[in-house]
Amino acid sequence: MKELRDTQNERDTRHISIDRVGVRGIRFPIVVSDKEKRTQSTVATIAMMVDLPQQYKGTHMSRFIEALHEHRHFLDVHTAVHLPERLLKKLSAQRAHVEIDFPFFRVKKAPVTHLPGIMNYDVRFEIDAERDALGQFTLTIRVPITTLCPCSKAMSEHGAHNQRSIVTYSVRFTGAPVWIEDLIDMIETCGSSPVYSLLKRPDEKYVTDLAYEHPVFAEDLVRNVAVATERHSAFSWYRVEAENFESIHNHNAYAMVERKLC
């Protein structure tokens, strides 16, 4: 058989290295750890990238897919950290970056009737690795929250406006990762009320009254999450963002806190 030309390995003369090159938008079935049921199956969208030295024309795209398929049986917090290590070896790279985005599902009971409903949360594993250096793992989760405006409550006679908010919470760990469910529980205590997928009338009254008794600004929300985070020794860094989808304004309210803890 005639030897096929390896164009990627040909020399590039522009003298510009590339920080990240690879593949994105890969839909891939994975199994993740679940505190309540041990595991759950879901579908991830995956991106994998490495650096490319200036002398090479291109990277070898198939090697990214080969590395991913080596982990096809079980991919969670503990196994995902090894994926960029495989990329470093397969592609002879100095740096690798992997993003794994997936929906995480949880059965959540209504607060009064206790009827079960399924909630989904957007989760991301982000792993960076360098040759001959410790890798870095970041977990990000997006949690919906109800917030009720303290200003509106203070000056109104017949109620206060509220809105659904999204908390985007990113953490790095000092040791073993914390369960996703525990992070969700922590964040939900920091707003005016949790959000549910199924509410009957008694439940709706409960969450409405609960929110009214616990008004928070976006600023309060991120500060509450920050305080809850810093009570624990499990985290080395965190970033918390809150975006309120305002019900009476034509804009969103936003706040962010980021801290390195050790």
Number of H helices, E strands in the chain: 7, 9
Tokens matching residue 176: 């073993």
* Fold annotation for 135-262: Urate Oxidase (3.10.270)
pTM of the predicted protein model: 0.91
Say if residue 153's pLDDT is above 70. yes
Tokens matching residue 59: 């990277």
**Beta bridge pairs of residue 217:** none
Cα–Cα distance measured from residue 77 to residue 126, given in angstroms and rounded to the nearest whole number:
10
Q: Say if CB 170 and CB 139 are below 8 A apart.
A: yes
Say if residue 24's pLDDT is above 80. yes
Provide the pLDDT for residue 238.
98
pLDDT in tens, 160-178: 999 999 999 999 999 878 8
* Range 247-256 average pLDDT: 95
Strands (E), 11-110: 18-34, 38-52, 95-109
Among residues of the chain, what percentage have pLDDT more than 70?
95
Cα–Cα distance measured from residue 180 to residue 173, given in angstroms and rounded to the nearest whole number:
13
More confident residue, 99 or 55: 99
Tokens 């810093």 found at: 230
Among residues of the chain, what percentage have pLDDT more than 90?
73
* Range 219-233 average pLDDT: 96
Provide the pLDDT for residue 108.
96
Provide the pLDDT for residue 73.
66
* Range 139-150 average pLDDT: 97
Q: What is the 3-state secondary structure (H, E, C) of 179-227?
A: CHHHHHHHHHCCCCEECCCCCCHHHHHHHHHHHHHCCCCHHHHHHHHHH
Tokens matching residue 161: 């406006």
**Confidence class for position 57, pLDDT limits 50, 70, 90:** confident
Tokens 């794994």 found at: 100
Say if residue 158's pLDDT is above 80. yes
Cα–Cα distance measured from residue 128 to residue 137, given in angstroms and rounded to the nearest whole number:
7
Say if residue 76's pLDDT is above 90. no
Cα–Cα distance measured from residue 19 to residue 194, given in angstroms and rounded to the nearest whole number:
41
Task: Write down the mean pLDDT value for the chain.
Answer: 92
Of 37, 164, 180, 35, nearest to 100 by C-alpha is: 180
H helix runs in 81-136, sequence order = 83-90
* Range 221-230 average pLDDT: 98
* Range 23-51 average pLDDT: 91
Provide the pLDDT for residue 1.
64
Say if residue 129's pLDDT is above 90. yes
pLDDT in tens, 177-186: 889 999 999 9
**Which helix (H) or strand (E) is 201 found in, with range?**
helix 201-213
Amino acid letter, 130: E
More confident residue, 6 or 91: 91
Residue 13: phi and psi, rounded to 5, are: -105, 10
Q: At what angle do helices 83-90 and 61-69 cross, to 10 degrees?
A: 140
**Confidence class for position 237, pLDDT limits 50, 70, 90:** very high
More confident residue, 147 or 76: 147
Q: Say if CB 186 and CB 228 are below 8 A apart.
A: yes
Provide the pLDDT for residue 13.
77
Provide the pLDDT for residue 146.
97
Cα–Cα distance measured from residue 31 to residue 80, given in angstroms and rounded to the nearest whole number:
11
Provide the pLDDT for residue 87.
94
Q: Say if CB 76 and CB 11 are below 8 A apart.
A: no
Say if residue 5's pLDDT is above 70. no
Say if residue 253's pLDDT is above 70. yes
